[in-house]
Amino acid sequence: MPWFAGLLLLTGGPILASLFLSFTDFDLLTTPSWVGLDNYARVMDDPHFGNAVRVTMIYVVASVPLSGGFALLVAVLLNRPMRGVGVYRAAYYLPSLLGGSVAVAILWRQIFGPDGLVNDLLSAFGIVGPSWISTPEYAIYTLVALHIWQFGSPMLIFLAGLKQIPAELYDAAAVDGAGKVRAFFQITLPMLSPIIFFNLVLQTVNAFKAFTPAFILSGGTGGPADSTLFYTLYLYQEGFGNFRMGYASALAWILLLMTAAFTALAFRSSRYWVHYAD
């Protein structure tokens, strides 16, 4: 009963309330007034909405495959017997524990700032680097790099999947003359395909929900020329900055539909590349 009470009061209730508010004009201070589909129709003429969708799509498409690929590479390396492997696994997992914190976002801002660590390294080679965060062409990719750095969680899931692959398969492949590269593509990847699919869906949903890094690095403004205006950040600005909570609720439900569409597409495509034991 306590769990169901929390589900209804803290999750189900706000979800239904936001659905109702998405059809209203609500400024957080006065009684909501019904406007029907006006909030949803408004997005068609909102230039910031299109830019927020574009920035978010760039972030999702760039960060999810790179983070997953890097996590798989490190998992394969750490799956080998070596001295102190537990220390390495803990060290690589640590950024995932700190990834959503404000402190890490502030640290990232210092690293990619005009006098940050990246430019200090470039200056050693005689290269004058830009202010990566305040330059529209590069700002979004600093956030992509931050997401890739937080590969610890999918790495551990990949490690668990690698442990479940029978060693006899690799022995049989070696007897047949298959090298390590071919064994990786013919045995490891097919056997890991359910784990890859799970990480793909999970990381995609998390990428769509990303908020804290963009908020801290841009100071809540969306960065130069709205180059880091994530969808969630724009939703926050409309709801709590401009006091258009009805419109923000409509944006939230549109985000839910976009995430559901990507998830459905992943599930539909899984029949062609995900292989299960049965």
pLDDT at 236: 95
Q: Say how far apart CA 67 and CA 169 lie, in whole Å.
A: 28
Work out the angle between the directed axes of helices 13-21 and 245-273 (0-180°, nearest 10): 110
Domain assignment present for residue 11? The answer is: no
Q: 98 Cβ partners below 8 Å, 6+ apart?
A: 104
Q: With a cut of 80, say whether residue 196 has pLDDT above it.
A: yes
In this structure, what DSSP letter does residue 100 have? T
Report the DSSP beta bridge partners of residue 34.
Answer: 24
Q: Say how far apart CA 20 and CA 14 lie, in whole Å.
A: 10
Helical spans, DSSP H, in the chain: 2-6, 13-21, 38-42, 47-78, 85-98, 102-111, 117-123, 136-149, 152-163, 167-175, 180-183, 189-208, 212-218, 231-236, 245-273
Q: What is the per-residue pLDDT across 126-180, written as a single tens digit (0 to 9) for each?
A: 888 888 888 888 889 999 998 998 899 999 999 999 999 998 999 999 999 989 8
Domain assignment present for residue 149? The answer is: yes
Domain assignment present for residue 31? The answer is: no
Determine how many CB atoms are found less than 10 A away from the CB of residue 271.
7
Nearest Cα neighbor of 67 from 162, 160, 145, 158 is 145
Question: Hey, CA dihedral for 185, 188, 191, 192, is it positive or negative?
Answer: negative
How many folded domains does the chain comprise? Answer: 1
Instruction: Report residue 102's pLDDT band, with 50, 70 and 90 as the boundaries.
Output: confident
**Structural domain containing residue 179:** 48-273
pLDDT at 95: 83
Q: Say how far apart CA 79 and CA 185 lie, in whole Å.
A: 16
Domain assignment present for residue 2? The answer is: no
- Output the average pLDDT for the chain: 90
Domain assignment present for residue 108? The answer is: yes
With beta carbons less than 8 A apart as the criterion, state whether 122 and 111 touch: no
Question: pTM score, two decimals?
Answer: 0.89
Domain assignment present for residue 203? The answer is: yes
Phi and psi for 33 in degrees, rounded to 5? -115, 135
pLDDT at 75: 94
Domain assignment present for residue 34? The answer is: no
Q: 155 Cβ partners below 8 Å, 6+ apart?
A: 71, 72, 74, 75, 78, 89, 92, 93
pLDDT at 94: 85
Residue 232's CATH number: 1.10.3720.10
Domain assignment present for residue 4? The answer is: no
